[in-house]
Chain A
């Protein structure tokens, strides 16, 4: 299935939390500042209902998006008020993919964990949590995964300040 067909199907089954879709577009010839958007299309989903959405995408007979290939976050800009949660789903049986984006406010980056739906997100969420300071409520194992346990700050945030030293090791 192509993206349009998947999006239509998600709307037809009223997938929980589905907010809309974003597709690449050419630059607007009238507006010189507009550069358009290239790349992949994706669907926008409410982060608070991501778990039920993933469950619906997996259990539907015509989607069968049962493999969570990747879950990560993005900090689009320093002055942006939101973080993105990016999920890549895959159906090995029906050979199609779906990209999902959730918009999560930086002021309150809390969302329910998706581990009950996909075991694959357990480590992915741990990485997103330590790198971006997101809290996945209900996560069974919320420890750091790549960073030391006592690391200060969330390195992939755009406003991250590099440390001067770590346990006496100079980081300059």
Chain B
């Protein structure tokens, strides 16, 4: 299938007359090479698409002249299922759209339903939710960090990242029994209290991670070859970021000072901000142009350390108490609707839920950040080198389970 809705032909940057006036060797080259557009199929099973996604690239030699992402290979009808099962039964499905940050998905869905219900959540549950969401953010950014190195040909950082992620997953296994799809945060609070010694182990994780974090910076972020591959590549100006509805590290990499946790605080983040416990790292164009691939990567790496600070704040302030509000087994949500957006590792995760007062939702919309974030490749790839396509797609840090839902 050909790329549609983009100009058919890329004009060469020189005329035939100009080519003829060149020196012999170069002239032969210029006249000899017929530039013909070629369609390059990337995916659906390409390692750099981080899932099953297909991007059709039109290339004129080494230059991309058009790009068209094709989605839907991982479409699992999440929204239709949301309208077919009971409110509480839908929770495990939320794990499965952004499977690298399942805690954040649980949190977003639970908060949307709680908002329509007007439910009060016990404070200890809020603390555990924040700890888990932030630990999961670290885990997700570790994958972004590791696989981005992998995309660009650096294998070792990936192994370093998985070392810490393994511990993070072991922590989640201790608290809820699952390593990837948790369903731990649920409507009304969390599934159960932390087992004895768990909070102390999280504290040890924080202490170790602070040291390890410096390794990531040394190993990849300031690596000369890595900077050469990512600086000045895939620059997203602020206006473009807003026009495409980007969010999360994608806009912060472009220098837009926006983080839902700080600017429209939910749950405990208002208190944490008031204590000045965390900062919002922004891209500065330190290695190249503001909004390039390196800036987005930098934001993710810096955010990991900020998440550790948030976890430390929670560990210092957590107190004993109930962890689940009193809710019936079969939930009836009063008529109403709400859109709740939270800061997921990839950006704004929005849940729009509509209830008519029955046991089943009328609408269960998921606004996944990856869906908007990957749409920008359509505009970003034309004009870049084919070799940079992987760097640009990798820097969006998509999870295809979420674009397709």
Q: A residues within 8 Å of B by Cβ?
A: 24, 35-40, 42, 66-70, 72, 74-77, 86, 88, 90, 92, 95, 97, 99, 118-120, 122-123, 131, 140-141, 143-148, 155-156
Supply 25 A–B pairs (Cβ within 8 Å), ascending by A: A40-B338, A42-B337, A67-B245, A69-B245, A69-B247, A70-B365, A72-B352, A74-B354, A74-B365, A76-B354, A77-B362, A90-B348, A92-B242, A92-B251, A92-B258, A95-B264, A118-B243, A119-B244, A119-B375, A119-B379, A123-B372, A141-B5, A146-B72, A148-B72, A156-B80
Q: Is B350 a contact partner of A155 (Cβ separation < 8 A)?
A: no
Q: Choose among B83, B115, B243 the residue that contacts A39 (Cβ–Cβ < 8 A).
A: B115
Closest Cβ neighbor of A92 among chain B residues: B258
- Chain A residues with Cβ under 8 A from B4's Cβ? 141, 143
**Minimal Cβ-Cβ distance residue in A for B5:** A141
| B348 CB to nearest A CB, Å | 6
Q: Footprint of A on B, CB under 8 Å?
A: 4-5, 71-72, 75, 77, 79-80, 83, 115-118, 242-245, 247, 251, 256, 258, 263-264, 334-339, 341, 348, 350, 352, 354, 356-357, 362-363, 365, 367, 371-372, 375, 379, 404-405
Q: How far apart are the CA atoms of A144 and B1 in the complex, in Å?
A: 14
Report how far A131 CA is from B363 CA in the complex, Å. Answer: 12
The smallest C-beta distance from B73 to any residue of chain A, in angstroms, reads: 9
From known contacts A38-B116, A72-B365, A88-B367, infer whether A97 and B338 are also in contact, taking CB-CB under 8 Å: no
Contacts of A66 in B (CB 8 A): 242
Which residues of B sit under 8 angstroms from A35, Cβ to Cβ?
A: 334-335, 357
Q: Give bound CA distance, A146 to B400, whole Å.
A: 12
Query: Measured between alpha carbons, how far is A1 from B379 in the docked complex, in Å?
Result: 33
- Whether A24 lies near B336 (C-beta < 8 A) is yes
Minimum CB–CB distance for B278 against chain A, Å: 17
Partner of A74, one of B71, B348, B363, B405: B363
Q: How far is the CB of B360 from chain A (nearest CB, A)?
A: 11
A24 to B116, CA, bound (A): 10
Structural contact, B116 and A70, CB atoms closer than 8 A: no
Residues of chain A contacted by B367 (CB below 8 angstroms): 69-70, 72, 88
Least CB distance, B377 to chain A, in whole angstroms: 11
Is B338 within 8 A of A77, CB to CB?
no
- Collect the chain B residues with CB atoms within 8 Å of residue A97's CB: 264, 339, 341
